[in-house]
Structure 1
Amino acid sequence: MIDYSGWRHAFKLDPDKWIDDEWLERICESGTDAIIVGGTLGVTYDNTLALMSRIRRYAVPAVLEVSSLQAVVPGFDAYFIPLVLNAGDPDWILQPHVTGLREYGAYIHWEEIFTEGYLILNPESAAAKRTAARPVADTEEAKAYARVASKLCRLPIFYVEYSGRYGDPRWVAACRSGFEEGHLFYGGGISTPEQAREMASVADTIVVGNIIYDDPKAALATVEAVKDL
């Protein structure tokens, strides 16, 4: 069973995007606390299995963030299951989970399963469009979502997702104040050490994704920036 409570930094790799062996090794051996595998579009069983097999050459913990039942691959250290709290399409709140448990509930190792309360704050992102995410009016509403996750749903993880765009640290801090008893992840648009440090000051774990494919050297620099805090 993994313990994410001490994670400060994670890289997110998308099965639908290519990374060569040299850079994959450097990412996995960078000192990051974990590799999260996940994506919104183009994620299949085959490309998830292929990426997982390559990551497994290294000792870094590997987690699958499940976005499609068809892409659930055994062999990861843990599985993060998102509940999109501001989904406008109610099917993205619980219906996929009911479908999954109906099919696979008897085979699940529950100690490997962790539920994330997702708050999507970039309305232009693919994740927002896929889930018809409802706009969040202000920091007080964001904080209220965090309290729903913490106090009503008792979720262990709250994930503030800007998905490709760098967010507002004040909004993340508001979520942190509302999510008092769990672990807060931030993901979205981090591309510099300064941004990594800024978000790590208000989130428990920062997740670095897109910059891996655009500028892998810059991605690696975010690890040391957070470890230095």
Structure 2
Amino acid sequence: MIIDTKSWRHVFKLDPDKQLTDEQLEHLCVSGTDGIMVGGSTGVTYENTVDLLARIRQYEVPCVLEVSHRDAIVPGFDMYMIPVVLNSGDPQWIVGQQMEAIAEYGSLMDWDEILTEGYIILNGDSAAAKLTSAQTDISEREVVAYARMAEQMFKMPICYVEYSGTFGDMDIVRQVKRNLRDTQLMYGGGINSLEKAKLAGEAADTIIVGNIIYEDFNQALATVAGCQSM
């Protein structure tokens, strides 16, 4: 099933390497969120990804896989999102991992089901930043330049500003949004309350809610209302 992520306002991001009860998963899937994204920085395997997908498929919510490692590519998702870390200092996270995945699975890929994400990681203390050697000490002007590259140079459908674990600078996020015309702006990082969901939802097209699911489940559910009321 081809889905249109452009209309998405709220997404829950689930980590296959973290635990959720069946009851919690049901609450997430029927919460009114626009979609479920599956992905993580570490500990993601084929086995735990397959298991999580099978559990999500009990519900009608759209489900996408953010491909963090080629060994964890699992068939059966509605869409596949391929992250390209634009501010990585390691080419492996710009073209290396992607080339390896395409070399192995390119002949099997349905390119209509694949979206590229131009990632800009801005929390230097996060696992994602350390894993990808992201250059996070950059100016607002440089962040905007990366976003423009994602849209104008590389024609990426998604630009993802990621603060991973901390709530970011919404002024920067708004500035990125002002400089994008067609590319969808996703924001993730530190959305752990209804109030922060509203702030991030006003700045970006789509908010991604992840860590708080495993820290304060009720607060995670509350974030959905932050986008529904806008």
TM-score range, shorter chain: over 0.9
* Counterpart residue type for residue 217 of structure 1: N
Runs ≥4 in structure 1, deviation > 3 angstroms? none
Partners of 2:211 and 2:142 lie apart in 1 by 27
Partners of 1:90 and 1:177 lie apart in 2 by 28
TM-score by length of 2: 0.98
Deviation at 1:49, TM superposition (A): 0.4
For residue 160 of structure 2, give the secondary structure of its aligned residue in structure 1: strand
Deviation at 1:21, TM superposition (A): 0.4
Deviation at 1:141, TM superposition (A): 1.1
Deviation at 1:87, TM superposition (A): 0.4
Matches within 5 A, 1:1-229: 1-229=2-230
TM-score by length of 1: 0.98
- CA RMSD of the aligned region, Å? 0.8
CA-to-aligned-CA distance 1:189-224 (integer Å, 9 cap, x gap): 101111000010010000000111111111111101
Partners of 1:135 and 1:23 lie apart in 2 by 34
Partners of 2:222 and 2:152 lie apart in 1 by 36
Partners of 2:88 and 2:139 lie apart in 1 by 17
Q: Does structure 2 conserve the Cα–Cα contact (< 8 Å) formed by 1:142 and 1:174? A: no
* Counterpart residue type for residue 137 of structure 1: I
Deviation at 1:58, TM superposition (A): 0.3
For residue 73 of structure 1, give the secondary structure of its aligned residue in structure 2: coil
Structure 1 gaps, min length 5: none
Q: Number of matched residues?
A: 229
Q: Does structure 2 conserve the Cα–Cα contact (< 8 Å) formed by 1:118 and 1:158? A: yes
Partners of 1:156 and 1:42 lie apart in 2 by 27
CA-to-aligned-CA distance 1:23-77 (integer Å, 9 cap, x gap): 1000000000000000001000000000000000000000000000000000000
Partners of 2:136 and 2:197 lie apart in 1 by 25
| Percent of aligned pairs sharing the same letter | 53
For residue 144 of structure 2, give the secondary structure of its aligned residue in structure 1: helix
